[in-house]
Structure 1
């Protein structure tokens, strides 16, 4: 059983990085796919049992690997590498190719190679906000919170509207227990799309540490948001829990657990891309 909020945040960052690769390659973000990936992390790392298929003996979560899924990315890496070796191009074009290859390496979990390419991209084109965002995430995962904060601040200096850096910087503040600053960034992230229940969820997790009383109010909005996504089955579970548990604190916790458990059914539904 893994119930640490900080572990959930760390795993969510990894999912978010997968989203970045998808957005940069296609120019579009299929939010339904990202939500499915993200909440699968909450289900696997939240207050539910972990399947033996995904957990080693020392409780390390293992990812399923399917080599055929990586073929297309590997082909792209080879092609970009060939162009970088023999192609004549401007610094801007070369920086763009290093960035694209770095994104592909990142999606395959080859972070050292990804970092190399991102560093090369910055050497050729120092004002690439997306590169600083990636590097900030790496520093955050390495627990270099000062370095990560500097990288995220650089993103905003280059592109004040780089939306998901609000989330990344908020996570950085959360880890160093600066919950008041985290709240500001989580709130800025939420205000850019108030219809997204996951943005409310980030606020809720931070408020549990910063303002527990306020978190209870936010949790109601989280429930309503997810009910609109998933539908009646969870609603009936919540109503049942409300009648079964009269104590507010107990009821609050049981609703949270039931919401996470019922997400399994939602995740098993096919999602169109």
Structure 2
């Protein structure tokens, strides 16, 4: 993406610092646990080619064309071609608008590229057609958070809590949104949820967020319990994203940058943690760039004042 190529020297230094330094009291590992990045299969390529050929036929019914567009969109998404997937999904709903699950997918795409109004419209449409779509409800809350409306995002998360209790990822996002408004209350609420946690996998990440477990112990547990490379890649994608978010909330941007880059590295394209790692990196780079510009402007102003 363009903002990777145009990063300033200051941002590059942050990246280097993040890669070579692990000075946090929690971070005891030198080399981060890794998995083999997921690779798309020949079957994915064959399916895309086959569906592309079939979609050129003029005698397809709207129902069949819609289904094929959705299948090709999913195949594009599996290989990381998200813009092509979005185009297929958009064409699909132009033929048949009564597809809440497709509007939900489009909302996630729009969130990932900072098109907030389009994301809100997509999620609103999905929820109007299917009020019980919990994925759309959480995704809308996340979109509101990235659109700098955390208080509205929390309203959705509170609705979600009533319908989907003891979900660790709901708890994580609610904590992240609440942190923008009241860090102390955010921690208190997350501790309360963790106190009655289950054996569900995501609570390990909640424990990391709360410093209830060290990074070393958490990663040792993940590596011991996960023997399948695909599952390992997915769990590490989730872990690195939320751990990066923890460092970011604490103002440790160098560590956050390194962890978001790790979350991206496993090619788990269908996870929001993969998509939103790009978004988080862009936000950090913008923050650093704006801070540098403000500092340069202040130094220039001081210099002009001295000369006067």
TM-score (norm 2): 0.55
Whether 1:270 aligns to 2:241 is no
Gaps of 5+ in 2: 1-25, 232-308
Question: Which residue of 2 is the match for residue 111 of structure 1?
Answer: 82
Q: Is the 8 A contact 1:201 1:222 kept in 2?
A: no
Which of these residues, 127, 148, 153, is aligned with residue 182 of structure 1?
153
* Alignment pair present for 1:141 and 2:112: yes
Larger radius of gyration: 2
Structure 1 unaligned segments of length 5 or more: list them: 1-46, 55-62, 239-252
Which residue, 125, 131, 140 being the options, matches 1:160? Answer: 131
Query: Which shows bigger deviation, 86-95 or 99-108?
Result: 86-95
* 2:211 counterpart (256, 263, 266): 256
1:83-119 per-residue CA deviation (whole Å, 9 max, x = no partner) reads 3234843201210110111011112110121122112
Greater shift, 133-142 or 189-198, is seen at 189-198
Aligned to 1:116, what secondary structure does the other structure show? helix
Matched, 1:90 2:82: no
Which one has more relative contact order, counting CA pairs under 8 Å at least 6 apart? 2
1:62-101 equivalences in 2 (<5 Å):
65-67=37-39, 69-86=40-57, 88-101=59-72
Deviation at 1:160, TM superposition (A): 1.5
Provide closer, same or farther for how the CA distance between residues 179 and 254 of structure 1 changes in structure 2, counting only shifts above 3 A.
Answer: closer
Deviation at residue 125 of structure 1 after TM alignment: 0.9
Task: Describe the superposition over 1:157-202 as per-residue Cα deviations: whole angstroms up to 9, x where unpaired.
Answer: 2221211111111111112332221111112223222132222122
Give 1:150 shift: 1.3
- How high is the TM-score relative to the length of structure 1? 0.61
Q: CA deviation at 1:137?
A: 1.4
- DSSP 3-state at the match of 1:204: helix
Say whether 1:123 aligns with 2:66: no
- CA gap of 1:143–1:254, structure 2 versus 1, over 3 A, is closer
CA displacement, residues 117-159 of structure 1 (integer Å, 9 cap, x when unaligned): 1122122112221222122112111111112111111111222
Q: Distance in 2 between matches of 1:225 and 1:75?
A: 47
Deviations along 1:53-81, whole A, 9 cap, x unmatched?
A: 98xxxxxxxx95454x4223223223323
* SS of equivalent residue, structure 2 residue 68: helix
Aligned to 1:30: none
| CA positional deviation for 1:271 | 6.4
Inter-CA distance 255–111: structure 2 relative to 1 (3 Å threshold): closer
Aligned CA distance change for structure 1 residues 128 and 51 (closer, same or farther; 3 Å): farther
- Does structure 2 retain, via aligned residues, the 8 Å contact 1:133–1:152? yes
Q: In structure 2, what is the equivalent of residue 42 of structure 1?
A: none
